[in-house]
Amino acid sequence: MAKLLRMKKIAYTGLGRNKLRTFLMMIGVVIGITALTLIISAGIGAQDRVMDRVKKFGLESMMVFAGGGREMGQPVSGGPVTTLTLRDAETIKREVRAVDEVAPFNRKGNSEIKYLGKSTTAAVFGITPSWAYVWDWDVRSGDFISEDDMDNLNRVCLIGPTVRKELFGNENPIGQQIRIGNVQFEIKGVMQPKGTSPGGGDMDNRVNIPLTTFMRRVANVDYIFGIKILLNSSGEMQQTAENISAILRERHTIAAGIPDDFRIVTPDEVTQFAEKVAGTFNIFFSLVAGIALIAGGVVVANIMLISVNERRREIGLRKAMGARSKDIKLQFLFEATAVTLAGGIIGIVLGGIGAQILKMITGMPVSISWEGIALGVVSSSLVGIIAGMQPASRAAKLQPVESLRS
Amino acid sequence: MNNTLINAKNLSKIYGKENSAQVVAVNEVSMEIRRGEFVAIMGASGSGKSTLMNILGCLDKPTRGALFLDGSEVSKMDDEQLAKIRNQKIGFVFQSFNLLARTSALENVELPLIYSDKQDITKLAKEALQAVGLSDRLDHHPSELSGGQQQRVAVARALVNDPEIIFADEPTGNLDTRSSLEIIALFAELYKMGRTIVLVTHEPDIAAHTRRIIKIADGKIIADEENRLHGTWQK
Ligand SMILES: Nc1ncnc2c1ncn2[C@@H]1O[C@H](COP(=O)(O)OP(=O)(O)O)[C@@H](O)[C@H]1O
Ligand SMILES: [Mg+2]
């Protein structure tokens, strides 16, 4: 401890007091660490988003969507795909051992929902009683859709909290009649809030109705949009996906060599997609950070060399007073590191501000993290240590008599 | 108790590589300095005074010869051991003061102590500055002090580690007559308090204040005698 205090004292008596130089030494590190902080903030933001997404999606589940060959995130090209059916979902549940439960569904975006004089737009989902279990998403009040509702094509619905707020305010909606398009439905329950979807949509602005009712009375179709499948264990993910694929190909009579007319999405794919988006951004800023830190290090090394040269007398004096070579070395390393660390801290602050601005402009998720701050502190210190190494050794090697003569 | 502080045997310092033009700055010098002496090393410019003093002060290494300080052979020591010797046993005063700019008098005097194990370095530095009469200038930077005052700060810095011996290389060389007299009077006072002082100068007026005068020319001692004006130099 006493040693540390003494070190501080040495550094204090020696710290470069040339403001312009200190500024020049800092600038590269400031830019580098600013970029680095941006990457980390945005990277962590993206990672949070992926985790959020995976969490909402469920680690032990997968999705089957109607229509093949489309990449995640890209819109379906062409008209609706009509090959995936309720029977497919039932078969998957019956025949694949690793499947715990299935939740087939269909959906329709932006439908007009009316209650008395008021109206709002919401997505309409056709769901089954298994939905609550598979999505871990039940009603907050009232009752969920029942098998009886499915069998009888009942015109009942569950509304999301947003729809409830829009149409009912503080009024109790349960038992009230609303209109979806021209069909009248009785409200059976209000869904638990779920927040925004990974894609940014409001998952609470929905009206859920029995899937059978959806198919017969609302959309008048035989097919479904997708199936969420809950597994017994996540270990057999890939094998299960292959089994399901085989069953669907057989049921859809797809010959070998012909592409699938469905698409199976596992949590891995969700993660990969999000990483791909974050990747481009990261590469650019990593380059900026890397180049700036290297350039900053070169500047620091050169200015330190100039400084060592100019301070030969001081070094000679310190040695005459009893400083050992390693004291001198440590002093210059300390000076270089103090400057780059200060630059690093400024960079962390600027990067944090930049991340907030980025968030405001692009809506990109960012989060300031301890990891980011720690990495900024460590890498700026490292730049100082590495860049200061050669000048510090040169200073340490100076002979007292010659240095004092200069 | 052995009164010999410095014992030099056939010290030589040769600059330049063999076969090329060589300068013999110090040539086979042998001498002894006892505790409590006040010695002047005199000689013309280029005669080797500084080189000799730097060797005696463990700042420089002799090309040949042996040097004993306080009984141990410093001419066999490595750089780290020499640094420790300089830190604990030796104080230096230079012609050009060599104070750190933009650093207070107090911090300048603390400098040798930050490389030592000593505690209370601020207290010791204040005492040293008091000893040279600068208690009221602790926070002044060198640029705010006169030449004489700056050199007194340097003397305080040489004193602060309570060294066995103080070496001063032309300490009055950059000062006007009045300041020179002040500084030499300060050394004389320290001598009276028991300090061992070796002072390099080419000014007879300054050397006159010491008790023993060693004259060198071309790196050799040509005279080594007691300063008559002051009676015996062996206290
Ligand atoms: N580093 C060096 N390289 C070569 N010659 C030197 C060096 N240092 C001193 N000398 C020479 O050694 C001689 C003695 O120098 P110095 O001890 O500085 O003399 P003084 O202090 O008496 O003026 C001079 O001739 C000087 O030129
Ligand atoms: Mg000289």
B7: left (phi over 0), alpha (psi -120 to 50) or beta: beta
Q: What integer pLDDT is reported at residue A60 of this predicted model?
A: 80
3-state secondary structure of B132: coil
Q: Kindly give the number of the ligand 1 atom that is closest to the alpha carbon of B16.
A: 4
A6/chain B closest Cα distance in angstroms: 6
Residue B127 parent element (H or E):
helix B121-131
Kindly report the length of chain A: 406
- Are B164 and B190 in contact by the 8 Å Cβ rule? The answer is no
> Is beta strand B165-169 parallel, antiparallel or unpaired with respect to B90-93?
parallel
- Pairwise CA distance, residues B131 & B125, whole Å: 10
**In three state form, how does the secondary structure of chain A look?**
CHHHHHHHHHHHHHCCCCHHHHHHHHHHHHHHHHHHHHHHHHHHHHHHHHHHHHHHHCCCEEEEEECCCCCCCCCCCCCCCCCCCHHHHHHHHHHCCCEEEEEEEEEEEEEEEEECCEEEEEEEEEECCCHHHHCCCCEEEECCCCHHHHHHCCCEEEECHHHHHHHHCCCCCCCCEEEECCEEEEEEEEECCCCECCCCCECCCEEEEEHHHHHHHHCCCCCCCEEEEEECCHHHHHHHHHHHHHHHHHHCCCCCCCCCCEEEECHHHHHHHHHHHHHHHHHHHHHHHHHHHHHHHHHHHHHHHHHHHHCHHHHHHHHHCCCCHHHHHHHHHHHHHHHHHHHHHHHHHHHHHHHHHHHHHHCCCCCCCHHHHHHHHHHHHHHHHHHHHHHHHHHHHCCHHHHHHC
CA distance B87 to B67: 18
Mean pLDDT of A292-315: 92
Structural domains of chain B, with CATH: 35-63+80-226 (3.40.50.300)
CB of A218 within 8 A of CB of A124? yes
Unique residue bearing structure tokens 């650019």: A284
**Ligand 1: which residue has its CA nearest to atom 6?**
B15
Rounded to 5 degrees, what angle do the CA atoms A120, A125, A126 make? 135
Q: Tell me: ipTM over 0.85.
A: yes
In this predicted structure, what is the pLDDT of residue A235?
57
Q: Tell me how long chain B is.
A: 235
B92 part of contact set with chain A, CB < 8 Å: yes
What confidence score (pLDDT) does residue B233 get? Answer: 43
Over pLDDT 70: what percentage of chain B? 96
Which 3 state secondary structure label does DSSP give B64? Answer: strand
Task: Give the pair of three-digit tokens for residue A163.
Answer: 């729809």
Contact list in B for residue A13 (CB cut-off 8 A) is: 100, 103, 107, 110-111, 114
pLDDT in tens, B27-83: 999 999 999 999 999 999 999 999 999 999 999 999 999 999 999 999 999 999 999
Report residues whose beta carbon is within 6 angstroms of any ligand 1 atom: B 15, 23, 25, 43, 45-51
The average pLDDT across A238-259 equals 88
- Cβ–Cβ gap B107/A13 under 8 Å: yes
CB atoms within 10 A of CB B20: 6
Q: Of A257-261, A315-319, A386-390, B27-31, which range is least confident?
A: A257-261
Does the pLDDT at position A261 exceed 70? yes
Q: CA B120, CA B123: separation in Å to the nearest integer?
A: 5
Beta-carbon pairs below 8 A across chains A and B: 67
Structure tokens at B34: 């006892």
Q: Scanning every residue of chain A, which has its alpha carbon at the shortest distance from the alpha carbon of B119? A: A2
Q: Would you state the pLDDT for residue B19?
A: 77
Please give the average per-residue pLDDT across B135-140, as a whole number: 95
Residue of A10, A317, A321, A406 for testing the chain B interface, max B β-carbons within 10 Å? A321
Residue nearest to atom 18 of ligand 1 (CA): B50
Q: At what angle do helices B105-114 and B121-131 cross, to 10 degrees?
A: 120
The answer on pLDDT for A269 being more than 60 is: yes
pLDDT digits (tens, 9 = 90+) for A272-290: 766 676 666 677 778 888 8
Between CA A319 and CA B83 the distance in angstroms is 7
How far apart (Å, rounded) are the C-alpha atoms in residues A108 and B205? 109
Note whether B98 contacts A: Cβ–Cβ < 8 A. yes
Range with lowest mean pLDDT among A2-16, A43-57, A343-357, A385-399: A2-16
Contact, B229 vs B208, CB < 8 A?
yes
Q: What is the dihedral of CA B68, B73, B78, B82, to 10 degrees?
A: -40
* Residue A231 confidence (pLDDT): 87
Residue B155 confidence (pLDDT): 97
Q: Which of A357-361, A363-367, A383-387 holds the top average pLDDT?
A: A383-387
What is d(CA B183, CA B210) in angstroms, rounded to the nearest whole number? 13
Q: Tell me which residue of B138, B191, B144, B192 sits closest to B168, measured CA to CA.
A: B191
Interface check B143 vs A, CB under 8 A: no
Contact in structure between A167 and A173 (CB atoms under 8 Å): yes
Report the pLDDT value the prediction gives residue B234, as an integer from 0 to 100.
43
- Within 8 A of B92 by CB-CB distance, chain A residues are 320-321
